[in-house]
C-alpha cells in the first residue's frame, strides 16, 4: 500500500486529552467509534451518500481531513475518499483485528479512529485507494458555513 510510513503507535498527537475528558465531549457512539476504534453500521451514517460540497473535519478536534472533491460513490455504505486533504492530516496503523490485515486511518491531530484505507479494488480514482471513513468521525463544513 502506498501510504506514508507513519504507522508507529508512538507518533504523538497535538491534541491530548484524558479519557474522562473525551467521554465528556463526545456522545457515547462518537466515543465508541473515535476513541475505541468502533465502526458504525453501513448505510446508517450521516454522510455515506452525501454529495454536498465542503470540507470534512475530524468530529473530535475539528482538523480538516478530506474534501468533497475527493469523495466518491463506492457503494460500500460508508463515506469513501480517494485521498486525504493533505499529506500529514491522517496517520496509518496496521490493524490485524477481526482476523484481517488492514490499514487503519486516524486523525493525525488527535489520534481519533476514522476508518480504514483499502487499495487495489479497481475503482476509477487517481490513487486506486478507498478511504472508508465512518460518518460519525466526520463533520461536513460547507462553503456557506466557513
What CATH number labels 19-141? Answer: 2.170.150.20
Task: Give the mean model confidence (pLDDT) for residues 3-23.
Answer: 67
* Phi then psi dihedrals of residue 92, to 5 deg: -125, 140
The three cell numbers locating residue 115: 476508518
Q: How far apart are CA 52 and CA 140, in angstroms?
A: 9
Mean pLDDT (the chain) is: 89
Task: Give the mean model confidence (pLDDT) for residues 41-70.
Answer: 96
Q: In 3-state terms, the chain is what percent helix, strand and coil (to 5)?
A: 15, 25, 55
Q: For residue 132, indicate whether it is catalytic.
A: yes
pLDDT of residue 88: 92
From the candidates 58, 107, 110, 132, which is the catalytic residue?
132
Q: How far apart are CA 146 and CA 141, in angstroms?
A: 7
pLDDT of residue 71: 97
Task: Give the mean model confidence (pLDDT) for residues 67-96.
Answer: 94
Domain layout of the chain by residue ranges? 19-141
Each residue of 109-141: pLDDT tens digit?
999 999 999 999 999 999 999 999 999 999 999
| Contact in structure between 64 and 89 (CB atoms under 8 Å) | yes
Strands 90-95 and 80-81, by their bridges, are unpaired
Residue 86 predicted with pLDDT over 60: yes
Amino acid at each position: 500500500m502506498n501510504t506514508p510510513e507513519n504507522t508507529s503507535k508512538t507518533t504523538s498527537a497535538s491534541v491530548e486529552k484524558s479519557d474522562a475528558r473525551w467521554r465528556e465531549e463526545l456522545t457515547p457512539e462518537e466515543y465508541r467509534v473515535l476513541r475505541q476504534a468502533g465502526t458504525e453500521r453501513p448505510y446508517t451514517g450521516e454522510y455515506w451518500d452525501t454529495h454536498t460540497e465542503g470540507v470534512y473535519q475530524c468530529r473530535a478536534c475539528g482538523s480538516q481531513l478530506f474534501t468533497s472533491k475527493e469523495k466518491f460513490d463506492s457503494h460500500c455504505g460508508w463515506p469513501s475518499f480517494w485521498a486525504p486533504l493533505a499529506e500529514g492530516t491522517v496517520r496509518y496503523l496496521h490493524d490485524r483485528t477481526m482476523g484481517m490485515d488492514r490499514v487503519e486511518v486516524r486523525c493525525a491531530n488527535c489520534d481519533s479512529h476514522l476508518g480504514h484505507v483499502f487499495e487495489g479494488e479497481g475503482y476509477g480514482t487517481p490513487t486506486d485507494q478507498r478511504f472508508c471513513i465512518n460518518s460519525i468521525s466526520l463533520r461536513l463544513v460547507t462553503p456557506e458555513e466557513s
